[in-house]
Amino acid sequence: MLALLYIRENRDLIIEAQKKRNYDAEKILDEIIKLDSIRRNKQTELENNLAKANSIAKEIGEYYKASENEKANTLKKESSNLKTSSNSLQDSLNEIEKKLLDLRTQIPNIPHETVPHGVSEKDNEEIFKSDNLVKLPKNALPHWELAEKYNIIDFDLGSKISGSGFPVYKNKGARLQRALINFFLDKNISAGYTEFQVPHLVNAESGFGTGNLPDKEGQMYHAQEDDLYLIPTAEVPLTNLYRDVLLNENDLPICITGYTPCFRREAGSYGAQVRGLNRLHQFDKVEIVRLETPEKSMTALNGMVEHIKTILSALELPYRILRLCGGDLGFTSALTYDFEIYSGAQKRWLEISSVSIFNNFQSERLKLRYKTKKGNKQPVHTLNGSALALPRVVAGLLENFQTDQGIRIPKVLIPYTGFDIIS
């Protein structure tokens, strides 16, 4: 969420920047600026009323001490009128602030200067591609057929229990899942991230803090009776560990990681492109989150990208990195890099990670600040990334490493799986 002061002082800059998203911000910004001016005037009037009321209260006491009751009673009437006026002003301010908050939450984050113009994913910019793309034989099988052949994932059984998009992993498929989770966590911890285990249900305040609420795309599962939401990503509880917190500059950077299942309704998803593990309602993911000073946040983002590259290289998977265009950029993100692995059997790229910087967009919602060494309070910059999401990693491993003997396991995973082939 953009700060009010920033909106007031940078109206034209915001309008121009939002054009990368194909978003016309002029009308809503002008409404915010107008309302904010009214708010500030009313705030000044309220403060003057309260100051006058305090002064009158002292005068009333002095008049009573001096037995000048008539003067004291006259002032009491004036004090009563001021109280009524102040209450009315406060109610009006509350309504204005609620309206301002609602308007501010409708404005997406400002795209970073490096974000390319574009309308859709077709306009994303490829910035890196590994040189280990595989060429599988024509009879190569997609992962959903391999899963059935080797009895490691049961999609029908998941549908029986829950519905489509809830696979059941079994035998070596379940062990592969566990191996990947532990491998990702170990890699993240060795890179300086502290592991957390966090709740899988969050309250509305947490969803709002990271920008997942209001749920504009209808992606979150809601437990209505308790007003709790199943997490779409570990980013939500991990980042909210620091909601309403004032940090010291020496506390930063904060680097944390955690494994969670993730739940997404994926409303409107259907067809061959979402078959098998390509699109699920429940999936496993290991997340990394960073809290940084503004001066170091871009360096941190680049470091996160390099970290994920090392994980994918260790897994021997062919991958590429895309810089998302304005039209494909998430609502809360200022800059996002997508990692995609190549599916040899499906002959297409599959997204397996997004690494994003939000600048102070989330921290404004979270009321997350830090105190500089000079004593000033500033918003923290937040970042997050998948390291990694499991379903499409598993799909890539099954498809790209299939042989006549079975599915080869990358060397780095063998200590975690306890086997070197699925056969």
pLDDT (tens digit per residue) in 71-97: 777 777 787 888 888 899 999 999 999
Give alpha helix (H) positions in 260-328: 297-314
318-340 average pLDDT score: 98
223 token code pair: 């437990």
User: Burial letters for 48-83: b for 16+ Cβ neighbours within 10 Å, e otherwise?
Assistant: ebeeebeebeeebeebeeeeeeeebeebeeebeebe
CB 232 within 8 A of CB 264: yes
Q: What is the pLDDT of residues 252-275, one digit of tens each?
A: 999 999 999 999 998 655 555 678
Region 359-385: mean pLDDT is: 97
Please report, for residues 92, 99, 109, 389, the alpha-carbon distance to residue 96 in angstroms, rounded to integers and kept in the order given. Answer: 6, 5, 22, 42
Q: Which residue has the tokens 């992606």?
A: 219
Contacts of 83 (CB under 8 A, 6+ apart): 53
Residue range(s) in the chain whose domain bears CATH number 3.30.930.10: 121-422
d(CA 383, CA 391): 23
pLDDT at 62: 76
- Using CA of residue 349, residue 352, residue 353, residue 354, what is the dihedral sign? positive
Class of domain 4-104: mainly alpha
What's the mean pLDDT when you consider all of the chain?
94
- Rounded-to-integer distance, Cα 256 and Cα 268, Å: 33
CA distances from 378 to 5, 114, 235, 295, 335 (A): 13, 24, 22, 12, 21
Give pLDDT, residue 127: 98
C-alpha torsion sign, points 252, 338, 333, 10: positive
- pTM attached to this predicted model: 0.93
User: Which part of the chain is CATH 1.10.287.40?
Assistant: 4-104
* CATH code at 121-422: 3.30.930.10
